[in-house]
Amino acid sequence: MIDRADDDAGAPMPCDPEALLACMRRRTQIAPRHLLAPGPDESQRRQLFEAAATAPDHGQILPWRFVVVPLEARGRLADAFEQALLERDPAAGEDERARARDKASRAPFLALAVVRERGDGQQHITLHERMASLGCALQNMLLMAHAQGFGAGLVSGLALRSGALASCFGLAAGERAVCFVAAGTPARRKPARQRPLPEQVASMLQGGD
């Protein structure tokens, strides 16, 4: 547990809202194949996970975790991706298998996001709430990677539902792999996408008559 006893958690943020919004606006999905070395170093990785750990967490049950896949473990991940493909399609050809393996080598920083769906005696905290907490953690990481000067993105896919991946990452009963989060140096700049307007994402509950 990081000791933040000195921080006044309830105090207003010494942060310019427009600057924060500008950072959020400029974040955009960068696919792992476009994320090159260098990636975040050890202290920047810690910052990423510290950002994740500031996510809201109903009941403080910490219903999610991350498993980093260092470069030296990418061969194991490649094996799992290939096995996952063979689970779906035992007749998959060599090209397809090579493409599945290749995905494991992308992005200098890669971590699997895992949600705990059940099995902790805390079922009053629904899966929706657990996923909302993980979503906040992911967004915090993406924004932090961006603030560090890296590109970042999320990637999922059928392999995440495979037995091969579950056993590679040692997922417990009740845990589910949700997506990978990747970060690194973007190979090219990408314009920020058009975002929905405030009135498209929020409406007003009408008062009484």
Token digits of residue 71: 């470069």
Residue 44 neighbours by CB under 8 Å, 6+ apart? 148, 150
Residue 135 neighbours by CB under 8 Å, 6+ apart? none
Shortest reach from residue 154's CB to ligand FMN, in Å: 4
Confirm if 115 and 131 have CB atoms less than 8 A apart. yes
CA–CA distance from 173 to each of 65, 120, 153, 164 (Å)?
Answer: 14, 11, 27, 14
Q: Which of 4/195 has CB closer to ligand FMN?
A: 195
DSSP 103: G
Shortest reach from residue 155's CB to ligand FMN, in Å: 4
Rounded to an integer, what is the distance from CA 9 to the centroid of its chain?
A: 25
Q: Which of 104/154 has CB closer to ligand FMN?
A: 154
b/e 30-65 (16+ beta carbons within 10 angstroms → b): bbbebbeeebbeeebbebbbebbeebebeeebebbb
Token digits of residue 130: 């657990």
Shortest reach from residue 150's CB to ligand FMN, in Å: 14
For helices 74-88 and 94-102, give the axis angle rounded to 10 degrees: 140
Q: Which of 91/159 has CB closer to ligand FMN?
A: 159
Residues that bind ligand FMN (CB under 6 A): 28-29, 31, 154-157, 178-179, 193
Shortest reach from residue 55's CB to ligand FMN, in Å: 14
